[in-house]
Amino acid sequence: MPQLARLFFYEALASLALMCGIIAYKGKRTNAAEIVLKGLKKLEYRGYDSWGVAVRSNHTKQISIYKRTGKIGELNLKNIKLPVGNLAMAHSRWATHGGVTQKNAHPHASCGNRIVVIHNGIIENFLALKKELQKKGHKFISETDTEVAAHLIEEYLKGLRVEGRGLRVQKLKEAVQKALKRMEGRSAFLVMSTDCDAIVAARRGSPLIIGKGQDGEYFIASDIPAFLQYTNRVMYLDDNEMVVLDGGHEFYNVSDGKSVKKRIVEIHWKPEQAEKGRFPHFMIKEIMEQKETIHRAINQEEKLIMRVADSINKAFGTYLVGCGTAGKVCMAASYLFSKIAKKHINVEFGSEFPNFHHFIKNRSLLIAVSQSGETADTLEAMEVARKKGAKLMTIVNVEGSSMDRMADLAIHIKAGPEKAVASTKATTSQLAILTLLAYACAGKLNEGRKVLVEAASQINDMLNPRYEKYISMLARKIKHVESMYVIGRGMNFPMALESAIKLQEVSYIHAEGFAGGELKHGPIALISQGTPCIVLVANDETRSDVISNAIEIKARGGFIIGVAPQREEVFDYWIRVPDVGNASPIVNIIPVQLLAYQLAVLRKNNPDMPRNLAKSVTVK
């Protein structure tokens, strides 16, 4: 492939790069391989197509690597010959640079295995670095960008065979630091060496979290559930920082090498929250948890809510920014702020926000909405707004995430770990918070709480086995369709878009969402005999219009599925939802979440790990 074509190819791949899984252990236990592989299994929800582990032998001081394509499965460590060691790291890969092969799986090693690396993200200038290293005699065995990092670090260590453990660790740290300065792109790296029993980790964009256990025990992971059973005490690497774990922890700035102090944060998640328990999949568990998560979301300190509302009211332009599902939540919120608080709120997807930076002033406010707090495009939007002097706020699930730390103000949705790729409980919690803020901006905080508490109570009644069975009957009726559509009006138009995302993600059925009034401007041409169309109805000023739209679809042969507080004559199948006023986007999306889940199961898809997707997109 010509070099220019390859560059375009890799640029396209970079736009698709998703969050892989990282876990490492450094401590006194000698079963480090078992610890990291169990941790890696807890990160399976992030999506991957290959995996691997590296262990430094306590006896020989050499590093052994084991890697495979496919899923980890029920791994029997007795069947793979890994040495006894108290230092190990593991990685699950979603292919970007290079195909799904055992050679391309992580970890990657330098010549002679002196340096071993695992990596999330993209090294954008890897082709130039690879060419330079090949001229110096380095031999590459994979097609990946990651392998460049191992060879580049080794190059900076060439000729250094220093004595003294502390000095060897220091030289490794310096070599990693020099290599990081050469590599471009958003990445997270973990590095081991045969020279010393330390781990060096660094971050530029992709998240890394350090867990501090007892007696000098440390973990590094891309997400907390990987080590939550061992410790809930964490430290976060910020952008352009590195850490050396060598019986203790030392943080540094990559640019100047200066020491950085970190505080230890206690995470209040329980290990069982990150497990499926009695449920067959995380997705259905998280749907059912909405009986409780909406209550937790709105249980916020009044001072915080009013402080954020005051910032919105005083801002010279407020911008809601999110990607994917969070973007649809932002769209729904713009309707809520208009209706409840009589305020105009700007909405942009994170990836598109940089095109609108011209409007940002130092009195503007950007509100970033995210489950993970690590979405690359939304983080970039925050960076753009910060450079213009705007105030930053975030609505986020993961405490201590990049967005949480970057923001001037943060509201945590308190949903607990969300492990299914398709967001459910985080979505409705985000909607609840934004609804509460709209009421607070209007000076009606208590009224907003009352509306949301009532909605949460009715959701508790709604999510029962009979309701689930009723929706599964519908799933069986439509499981073989090729296409389906969703319409809504007003604040339920964004929920029509979000419904389509849910159906696409896990059922793999072609689904599209539309504003009901836009049907006659083109989309109604897609309707044929038996085409399913979900109609999201609220008992408000949009009700009669969206019912009229449903009648138009039925007249052309459509199969009408009504999600509504009351039965309408046009419905071929009625899914009842409670009448909760301005909280209707919250209750209307839940039955579609259930339907998407049931369709996925019937069509023998994995609803927790849809193909081509992962939980967090941490590179552009």
**Residue range 220-253, pLDDT digits in tens:** 998 888 898 899 999 988 888 999 999 899 999 9
Q: Would you state the pLDDT for residue 78?
A: 64
Q: Is the pTM of this model over 0.95?
A: no
Q: Would you state the pLDDT for residue 165?
A: 61
- Is the pLDDT at 579 greater than 60? The verdict is yes
- Is the pLDDT at 167 greater than 90? The verdict is no
CB 334 within 8 A of CB 360: no
Q: How confident is the model at residue 159 (pLDDT cuts 50, 70, 90)?
A: low
Q: Would you state the pLDDT for residue 268?
A: 76
Q: Would you state the pLDDT for residue 599?
A: 97
Catalytic residue among 158, 323, 615, 620: 615
pLDDT, average across residues 345-372:
91
Q: Would you state the pLDDT for residue 77?
A: 61
Q: Would you state the pLDDT for residue 166?
A: 66
pLDDT, average across residues 275-279:
76
Which letter, b or e, does each residue of 226-256 get, where b requires 16 or more Cβ atoms within 10 Å of its Cβ?
bbbebbbebbbbbbbbbbbbbeebbbbebee
| Separation of alpha carbons 39 and 46, rounded Å | 13
Q: Would you state the pLDDT for residue 8?
A: 33
Among the residue ranges 42-51, 249-258, 466-475, the one predicted with the least confidence is 42-51
Q: Would you state the pLDDT for residue 520?
A: 79
Interior angle at CA 167, CA 117 and CA 243, nearest 5: 45
- Is the pLDDT at 270 greater than 80? The verdict is no
Catalytic residue among 20, 196, 323, 533: 20
- Is the pLDDT at 337 greater than 60? The verdict is yes
In the annotation, is 20 catalytic?
A: yes
Q: How confident is the model at residue 383 (pLDDT cuts 50, 70, 90)?
A: very high
In the annotation, is 261 catalytic?
A: no
Q: How confident is the model at residue 553 (pLDDT cuts 50, 70, 90)?
A: very high
Q: In what order do the strands lie in the sheet with 483-488?
A: 510-515, 483-488, 532-536, 559-564, 573-576
Sort strands 218-221 and 21-26 into parallel, antiparallel or unpaired: antiparallel
- Is the pLDDT at 538 greater than 90? The verdict is yes
Report H helices in 280-423.
Answer: 282-288, 290-298, 302-314, 325-336, 376-387, 402-406
CATH match for 464-606 among 3.40.50.1820, 1.10.20.10, 3.20.20.140, 3.40.50.10490:
3.40.50.10490
Each residue's pLDDT tens digit, 43-56: 876 667 889 999 99
Higher pLDDT, 158 or 542: 542
Q: Would you state the pLDDT for residue 6?
A: 38
Among the residue ranges 123-127, 190-194, 314-318, 610-614, the one predicted with the least confidence is 610-614
- Is the pLDDT at 7 greater than 80? The verdict is no
Q: How confident is the model at residue 17 (pLDDT cuts 50, 70, 90)?
A: very low
pLDDT, average across residues 543-561:
94
Per CATH, 3-272 and 464-606 having the same topology is answered no
Each residue's pLDDT tens digit, 387-408: 999 999 999 998 888 899 999 9
How many other C-beta atoms are found inside a 10 Å radius of the C-beta of residue 380? Answer: 18
Q: Would you state the pLDDT for residue 271?
A: 66
E-strand ranges in 407-539 read 409-412, 483-488, 510-515, 532-536
Tell me the domain boundaries of the chain: 3-272, 277-463, 464-606
Each residue's pLDDT tens digit, 57-83: 999 999 999 998 888 876 666 677 788
Q: Residues near 76 by Cβ (< 8 Å), separated by ≥ 6?
A: none
Q: Would you state the pLDDT for residue 284?
A: 95
**Token pair for 469:** 């069975």
Q: How confident is the model at residue 524 (pLDDT cuts 50, 70, 90)?
A: confident
- Is the pLDDT at 14 greater than 50? The verdict is no
Among the residue ranges 230-234, 264-268, 591-595, the one predicted with the least confidence is 264-268
Domain 277-463 adopts which CATH fold?
Rossmann fold (3.40.50)
Mean of the per-residue pLDDT values for the chain? 89
Q: Would you state the pLDDT for residue 620?
A: 54
Q: How confident is the model at residue 615 (pLDDT cuts 50, 70, 90)?
A: low
pLDDT, average across residues 330-359:
93
pLDDT, average across residues 594-618:
84
Which letter, b or e, does each residue of 4-36 get, where b requires 16 or more Cβ atoms within 10 Å of its Cβ?
eeeeeebeeebeebbbbbbbbbbbebebbbbbb
Q: Would you state the pLDDT for residue 4?
A: 38
Which CATH code fits 3-272? 3.60.20.10
